[in-house]
Amino acid sequence: MGVFMVLIDTSVLNVALPSIAQEFKASASDVEWILNAYTITLVVLLIPFGRIGDMVRRDLLYCLGMSIFVLGSYLCAQSWNVIVFILFRVIQAVGGAIISGNAVAMLAELFPPGKRGMAMGVQSILIATGFSIGPVIGGWITTHLSWHWVFYINIPIGIISILLGLTLLPALGEGVKEPIDFVGVILLAIGLGFLTLGLIKGQEWGWNSEKTVASFLIAFPYLLAFVVRELTYAYPILDFSLFKIRNFTTCIIALFFMFMGLSLSMFLLPFFLQGIKGLTAEEAGYWVLPISILNTVVAPIAGRLSDRINPKITMCAGPIIFSTALYLLSHLKIDVSFWELAPILAMLGTGMGLVMAPAMNVMITAIPPQKAGMASGTIRTFNTLAQAMGVAFGGILFTSRMNDLIPNYGNQLPSPMQIKVLGILAMKGFGAPLVLIVEAFMRSFRHVFISAIPLTLTGFLIILLFLRGEEHLRIVRKAGSALIVA
Amino acid sequence: MNKLIMFSLVMVILVLSISSANASNEINFHVVIAGENELHPGDETVITLLIENEGTVSNFYLNESTAAALQLVTTAKDLRVQVEDDWVPIKVKSDNPVLIGDLPAGRVAKAVFKVKVDENAKLGEYRVPVKLKYTKVTYSNAGTGVIVTYSVDEVDTEYVTINITKRDYDFSVKSIDSNLKTNRKGIVNVVIQNTGLNKICDAVLILNTTPPLITDPKAMSAYLGDLSPGETAKAEFKVYVTEGALNQTYPATLILKFKTLGKRPMVLTKQIGLKVVKEDVFEIIAVESFITAPKIIPKQQQSAMQTIPMSSQPFMQIQQQSSTRSSSIQPITIPSKGFVKVTIKANENMNDVMAMLSFDNPLIQAENAPYLGHFEKGDVKQALFYVKATAPAGAYRACLILKYKNTLGDEVVSEKHYFEVLINSLEPLKIVKVETRNVGVGLKGDVIIDVKNKMSCPVSDITFFVISSESTITPVSSSYFINELEPGEIEQAKFRLSVSGDAVSGLHRLYLVERYDLGNAKDLVSVTEIPVFVESKMAYFEILSIQSNLYPDETGDVIVKIRNAGSLTVHNAVVKLELNPPLTIAGGSSLSSLIGQTQPGLYFIGTLKPGDTAVAKFKVDVDKDAGAGFYPVNIVIEYYDDEGYKHTSSPITVSVEVKEKPLITPLMATAIALAVIGLAIAGRFARERIKREKS
Q: What DSSP state is assigned to residue B405?
A: E
Quick check: A206 contacting B, CB < 8 Å?
yes
Q: What tens digit of pLDDT does each residue of B147-203 get?
A: 888 888 889 999 999 998 888 888 888 888 888 888 778 889 999 998 888 889 999
pLDDT-derived band of residue B18, with 50, 70 and 90 as boundaries?
Answer: very low
Q: Indicate the residue of B553, B665, B682 with minimum beta-carbon distance to A228.
A: B682
Q: What confidence score (pLDDT) does residue B50 get?
A: 93
Whole-number Å distance between alpha carbons of B163 and B122:
10
- A409 contact B CB<8A: yes
CATH of domain B284-322+331-423: 2.60.40
* Chain B residues closer than 8 Å to A229 by CB: 681-682, 685
- Candidates A89, A115, A146, A226; CA nearest to A483 is A115
The alpha carbon of residue A390 and the mean position of all alpha carbons in its chain are separated, in whole angstroms, by 11
Q: What is the pLDDT of residue B307?
A: 42
Q: Is residue B593 over pLDDT 60?
A: no
Are B672 and A217 inside 8 Å of each other by CB? yes
Looking at domain B429-534, its CATH class is mainly beta
Mutation target vs A (from B550, B590, B687, B689; most A CBs, 10 A cutoff): B590
Per-residue model confidence (pLDDT) at position A27: 62
Identify all chain A residues contacting B689, using CB atoms and an 8 Å cutoff.
228, 231-232
Q: Indicate the domain borders of chain A.
A: 2-180+237-485
Q: What's the CATH number for A2-180+237-485?
A: 1.20.1250.20
Model pLDDT for residues B373-391, shown as the tens digit of each residue: 999 988 999 999 999 998 8
Is A187 near chain B, with CB under 8 Å? yes
> Measured between beta carbons, which residues in chain B are less than 8 angstroms from residue A206?
555
- Report domain extents, chain B: 22-164, 171-277, 284-322+331-423, 429-534, 541-658, 669-695
Classified as helix, coil or strand, A284 is: helix
Of residues A209, A228, A433, nearest to B555 (C-beta): A209
Query: From the candidates B572, B579, B583, B591, which should be mutated to test the interface with A, based on the most A CB atoms within 10 A?
Result: B591
Q: How far is B297 from chain A (nearest CA, A)?
A: 38
Nearest to B685 among A232, A409, A430 (CB): A232
Q: Does domain B22-164 have CATH number 3.40.50.2000?
A: no
- Under CATH, to which class is B171-277 assigned? mainly beta
pLDDT band at B309 (very low <50, low <70, confident <90, very high): very low
Which fold is adopted by the domain B541-658?
Immunoglobulin-like (2.60.40)
Quote the Cα angle for B307-B313-B315, to 5°: 30
Residue contact A410–B675, C-beta within 8 A: no
- Strand B98-103 and strand B90-92: pairing? unpaired
The pLDDT value given to residue B3: 64
Q: Which residue of B has its CA nearest to A423?
A: B595
Q: Residue type for A310, please?
A: N
Query: Rounded to whole angstroms, what are the CA distances from B243 to B240, B401, B411, B440, B588?
Result: 9, 13, 16, 65, 80
Q: Min CA distance, A378 vs chain B (Å)?
A: 21
Q: What is the pLDDT of residues B43-92, one digit of tens each?
A: 888 999 999 998 888 877 777 777 778 888 889 999 999 998 888 888 99
Minimal CA separation from A198 to chain B, in Å? 13
pLDDT, one tens digit per residue, over B652-664 is 888 888 887 777 7
Q: Which of A191, A232, A408 sits opposite B589 (nearest CB)?
A: A408
Q: Which residues of A touch B590 (CB under 8 A)?
A: 402, 406, 409-410, 412, 414, 418
- Minimum CA–CA partner of B676 in chain A: A221
Give the minimum alpha-carbon distance from A228 to chain B in angstroms, rounded to a whole number.
6
Q: Which residues of chain B are within 8 Å of residue A215 when distances are taken between CB atoms?
A: 671
Question: Which residues numbered 213-232 in A keep a CB inside 8 Å of some CB on B?
Answer: 213-215, 217-218, 220-222, 224-225, 227-229, 231-232
Chain B contact for A429 (CB, 8 A cutoff)? no
What pLDDT, on a 0 to 100 scale, did the predictor assign at position B434?
86
**pLDDT of B344:** 92
- The mean pLDDT of B424-443, rounded to a whole number, is 81
Higher pLDDT, A261 or B625: A261
Burial B61-92 (b: 16+ CB within 10 A, else e): eeeeebeebbebbbbbbbbbbbbebeebbbeb
How do residues B530-584 score in pLDDT, each as one tens digit?
888 887 766 778 888 888 888 887 778 888 888 888 777 888 888 888 887 778 7
Nearest Cα to Cα of residue B502 among B531, B534, B475: B534
Residue B313 confidence (pLDDT) above 50? no
CA distance A30 to A89: 12
Asked if the Cβ–Cβ distance from B689 to A418 is below 8 Å, we say no
The answer to whether residue B270 scores a pLDDT higher than 70 is yes
pLDDT in single tens digits along all 486 residues of chain A:
666 777 777 667 766 776 777 777 766 566 667 777 887 788 778 777 877 877 778 788 888 888 998 898 888 888 888 888 888 888 888 888 888 777 777 777 777 666 666 676 677 667 666 666 776 777 777 777 777 888 888 888 888 888 887 887 777 666 666 777 778 888 888 887 888 788 777 767 777 778 888 888 888 888 888 888 877 877 777 777 778 888 888 988 898 888 888 877 777 777 788 777 777 767 777 887 888 788 778 888 888 888 888 888 888 898 999 999 999 988 888 888 888 889 998 998 888 888 888 888 888 888 877 777 777 777 877 887 787 778 777 777 887 787 777 766 666 666 666 677 677 767 766 667 777 778 888 888 888 888 888 888 998 998 888 888 788 778 777 766 554 444
Q: At A233, which amino acid appears?
A: Y
pLDDT at B610: 83
B490 pLDDT higher than 80 = yes
Q: How many CB pairs under 8 A join A and B?
A: 99
| b/e per residue B299-328 (b: at least 16 CB within 10 A) | eebeebbbebebebebbebbeebbeebeee
